[in-house]
Structure 1
Amino acid sequence: MVVTPPRRGHSGNPQHKAGDENVAGLAARKAAARLLAAVIDARTALDGLTDNEHGHPQYKALDGRDRALVRAILVTALRHRMTIAGLLSKRLEKPLPANATALSHILNVAAAQILFLDVPDSAAVDLAVTHAKSDPRALRFSGLVNGVLRSLARAKETELAPALAATSEAPQWFSERLTAAYGADKARAILAAHRHEAPVDFTVKADPVIWAERLGGIVLPTGTVRVEKLAANVIDLPGFADGAWWVQDAAASLPARLFGDIRGQRVADLCAAPGGKTAQLILAGGEVTAIDASKNRLARLGQNLERLGLAAELVQADLLDYRPAQLFDAVLLDAPCSSTGTVRRHPDVPWTKTMADVEKLADLQRRLLAHAVGLVRPGGRIVFSNCSLDPIEGEELYRDFLARSPGVVADPVRLGEFAGIDPFLTPEGTLRTTPADMDLGSPGVSGLDGFFAARMRRVG
């Protein structure tokens, strides 16, 4: 079915009736479309929009069940944005007008439900039509909404699988960067992994085999406990109240291990919140100082450590202004980055970031790393890491920094030095993970966040 957008000034449908605001489920769909607009049009991070305390007013006005539905719609619409766009476009005789962004978001919200979520097609279509009729910007397109979505619902059984096979779910800039960095085959594997919800990983204080059994998961070669899907909220799981574990992606748990034996050493965790790496360093025997610029994030870190029964010195400071009274034996800098390695968990990232953001963040990382080196004593170790997939923030930055820093030398990680890490080591002795790594036979339990980590030593 091909539908032609109506001419301006002609809706082709009766005006919406009073009382539409009370239609069951309409408020959730309106919130989903509004938040999708904030992500796509204003490049606003999804986590902030859906924060239960500080999120978007339309989101906070919903009850818990509708909030969960809105988040599911948004994550799905972003994760499969290119496939959805292609199937919608196929049903239009000509593209939507450039100023019809509200209509586009209404269609995408409905299509995500029709194609990927357990929502009756009729409900998704009817609510989208009602939504369009209630929005002056989309009113004249309500007939188009009805026709396009009903056509999509009829054809999904035959068209969805071929569309998924032929589509990469990424904006052009992101797809091009992945291909340049990893080659076409690995880039396709990474993008394929992004279509799947990430499993939940737990770093446990001790006895990973026991906790894997209790939590219904498996133990990864790195020692992380992995659960494909949680049977309850995290706070209701066994071991939470006792502080036996914390949620931390398997890749995120690797950088702190690269220091080796730090028992009795003074260790700084820079940009430390939310504190997973801080907890690792404490458990490894370090005397840890956790530094973060955000008062709220540092408070949350303190609460996390309290639950775990762990203690560290907490310092609120802008890292570039921070000067300790005594230099540290080791410094971990998990630097602010583009977060392109976390797309499985945050599918908004490719749509809210640009190449200019990547380059700007890489420049910040260089300055932070240069300052971090000055916080460690001569002979001490520095571990630099971030959750970006882009070499500009990882491998290239690392090589350039070493070339320009005579007081710092590479301290390569050796094969066999740490359990489970060898598959992720580069010839330079740095660490690189991607969502396409650690294939365990099923997308639901495979993969890791994209991470880069490098170990260096100060010599002067």
Structure 2
Amino acid sequence: MEHATRASGQRERGPDPLGTPARRAAIRLLDAVLRRGEPLESALAAATRALPGGPDRGLAHAIAAETLRRLPDLDALIDSATPRPLPDDAKARFALRIALVQVLALGTPPHAAIATVLPLVDGGPRKLVHGVFGTLMRGEVTLDEIPTLPAATALRWQASWGDQMVEDAARAFSAPPPLDLGLSDWDQTDRLLGETGGDSLAPGHVRVSDHGPVTDMPGFKDGDWWVQDVAASIPARLIGRDAGHVLDLCAAPGGKTMQLAAMGAKVTAVDASESRLKRLRDNLKRTALEATVIRADVLEWQPEAPADAVLIDAPCSATGIYRRHPDVLYRVRPSIIAEMADQQARILARAADWVKPGGTLVYATCSLEPQEGEHQAEAFLIERRDFRIVPPAAGVLPDGITASTRGWVRTLPGMLADRGGCDGFFIVAMRREG
């Protein structure tokens, strides 16, 4: 064995340093997102299967997510210390990315960061990784406070919204967002504010900046709340309290279903994903809220009768939740946006007939792309002359969020910046004429 090792030009190495498996899983996660286009959350189970416990899985996720948040800046540092750029998918580049992000963003000591990364390039460019990392550490490099957005995303958003939005989006990307809670009993807002030390932007909402694991927080086990960004609470707020029978389409994992039920509606929640519906059912049970849950594709399903209101939380590119899911900025391309917009148009056209005359249709997407918001609403209103926009009534929207002159709601980066920001959403409420 010793002869074979020497003959191959390699020296024997001891066991990997403690923490190396979590770094190996982080590279698997990055590969899944950047090379295969998978969502970070979807790739998590497979990438971390070999890890022994939750803390290691959490560390792998944190390293991968922060690497994606800082990717252009990390790559610029790496390129500044190599004679020629490494290929984007090179093992050395991946290893350097996670070593640097640990030191520069996550507070890991340099010796620990490089020691747990070098085993990942055994049989490869180990000397290169060690040399580039050492050069950068000796140069005392830092990351700018405000991350650089991926170039393709910045150009697309600049064309749609202008320079200020791009600047606001980068600033909003600089840190993970606060945690927003939707409450199962709005009368308990003051109590939960006291227990969590949070802030409130609207009835039935609490915002928490400093917190531990969600499941350990006050009120979780008692079903007092669920996690829901304040912008995501707007669609149900536009429908209002005691709305009668509401169809919540594409409903899972159920934040809007629970919100509508808490507001007194009789809710039928429809979604095609059984795994996501399981989360919805679990959340309904935990919060003691009631809804009828149906597994079905809304492009094939048909309700027995029209409803008083229909809420379409349409499948979309999800670029509006990039602060929480930085992988979307690397997975979403114009072709995906166009594909999702086409699906949204088909769902809107089909579901419009499920609204009673005089009833309300709410269309929403967590997207920052006009094709999945403003353009969609304009095209629908041209096609369906029996619908008109209903602007939000006074006091309905959360503090600091306003409707446009057209009557719809568009949340953008920079909105509520002094209170923790909000996700990017488009929401429009339309009434069907009798």
- The normalised TM-score by structure 1 is 0.88
Deviation sequence 1:229-271 (CA, Å, 0-9, x none): 21x32222221122111111111111101013434x1111001
Q: What does residue 223 of structure 2 align with? A: 243
1:88 aligns with 2:78: yes
Aligned to 1:149: 133
1:249-328 equivalences under 5 Å are 249-263=229-243, 265-328=244-307
User: Is 1:458 aligned with 2:432?
Assistant: yes
Structure 1 residues 94 and 349, CA gap change in structure 2 (3 angstroms)? same
SS, match of residue 310 in structure 2: strand
**SS of structure 1 residue aligned to 2:359:** strand
**What is residue 114 of structure 1 aligned with on the other side?**
103
Greater shift, 41-50 or 62-71, is seen at 62-71
Conservation of the 8 A alpha-carbon contact between 1:16 and 1:130: no
* Partners of 2:332 and 2:398 in 1: CA distance: 32
Q: 1:424 to 1:155 in 2, by over 3 A?
A: farther
The CA distance in 1 between the partners of 2:208 and 2:391, in whole Å, is: 32
Cα offset, 1:46, TM superposition: 0.5
The 1:18–1:113 alpha-carbon spacing in structure 2 relative to 1, beyond 3 Å, is same
1:212 equivalent in structure 2? 193
Match of 2:413 in 1: 435
Contact 2:182 2:206 (8 Å CA) reproduced:
yes
Conservation of the 8 A alpha-carbon contact between 1:365 and 1:393: yes
Describe the SS at the equivalent of 2:253: coil
- Which runs of no fewer than 5 residues in structure 2 stay unpaired? 1-7
Q: Does 1:449 align with 2:423?
A: yes
1:40 aligns with 2:34: yes
Percent of aligned positions with the same letter in both sequences? Answer: 37
Shift of 1:116: 0.9
CA contact (8 A) 2:249 2:313 kept: yes
1:307-345 Cα offsets, whole Å, 9 max, x none, are: 111111111111011111111110000001111011111
> Structure 2 vs 1, CA of residues 314 and 160 (structure 1 numbering), >3 Å: closer, same or farther?
same
Cα contact 1:129–1:142 (8 A) shared by 2:
yes
1:28 pairs with 2:22: yes
Q: Which residue of 2 aligns with 1:75?
A: 65
- Take 1:429 and 1:363, find their aligned partners in 2: how far apart are those partners? 23
- 8 Å CA contact 1:389, 1:451 repeated in 2: yes
Between the aligned partners of 1:271 and 1:119, the Cα distance in structure 2 is: 41
The letter of the residue matching 1:17 is E
1:227 is aligned to 208
Q: Which residue is equivalent to 1:179?
A: 158
CA deviation vs aligned residue, 1:63-111 (integer Å, no higher than 9, x gap): 222212111111110000111011111001111246x522211111111
Contact map agreement 2:358 2:431 (CA 8 A) in 1: yes
Aligned residues: 425
- Provide, for residues 187-240 of structure 1, a one-character-per-residue CA deviation record: whole Å limited to 9, x for no partner: 11112201210111111222312211101211225652111121x322222211
CA–CA separation in structure 1 for the residues paired with 2:242 and 2:99 = 53
Aligned-pair CA distance for 1:127: 2.5
Contact 1:267 1:329 in 2 (8 A): yes
Q: Deviations over 1:15-34 (max 9, x none)?
A: 252544x4322212111112
- Using the size of structure 2 for normalisation, the TM-score is 0.93
CA distance in 2: counterparts of 1:429 and 1:222, whole angstroms: 21
Provide Cα deviations, 1:273-331, integer angstroms capped at 9, x if missing partner. Answer: 11111111112221111111112222221111111111111111110111111111100
- Distance in 1 between the 2:208 and 2:133 partners? 36
Which residue does 1:9 correspond to in 2?
none
Q: Given the alignment, which residue of 119, 129, 134 partners 1:130? A: 119
Would the aligned equivalents of 1:37 and 1:102 in 2 still touch at CA under 8 Å? no
Match of 2:334 in 1: 355
Out of 179-188 and 78-87, give the one that drifted further: 179-188
Provide, for residues 343-399 of structure 1, a one-character-per-residue CA deviation record: whole Å limited to 9, x for no partner. 111011111111111111011001011111011112211000010011110011111
Q: SS of the residue aligned with 1:113?
A: helix
Do 2:48 and 2:60's aligned partners in 1 also have CA atoms closer than 8 Å?
no
Q: Distance in 1 between matches of 2:375 and 2:170?
A: 22
Q: Which amino acid in structure 2 is aligned with residue 129 of structure 1?
A: L
Native 8 Å contact 1:83 1:164 kept in 2: no
Displacement after TM superposition at 1:168 (Å)? 1.9
- Matched AA of 2:17: V
Residues 126 and 146, structure 1, Cα contact 8 Å, conserved in 2: no
Kept after mapping to 2: 8 A contact 1:114/1:153: no
For 2:236, the aligned partner's letter is A
Q: 1:97 to 1:217 in 2, by over 3 A?
A: closer
Please tell me the residue identity of whatever aligns with 1:105.
F
Distance 2:43 2:159 in 1: 32
Summarize the Cα distance change of 1:422–1:353 in structure 2 as closer, same or farther, 3 Å threshold.
Answer: same
- Which stretches in structure 1 are left out of the alignment for 5+ residues? 1-12
Q: What do you get for the CA RMSD once the two structures are aligned?
A: 2.0
8 A Cα contact 2:250 2:270, kept in partner: yes
C-alpha spacing 1:14/1:64, structure 2 compared with 1 (3 Å): farther
Instruction: Give 1:101's aligned amino acid.
Output: A
Task: Tell me the residue number matched to 2:12.
Answer: 17
Deviation per CA, 1:165-186: give whole Å up to 9, x if none: 6x6222x221112112221012
CA contact 1:79–1:347 (8 Å) conserved in 2: yes
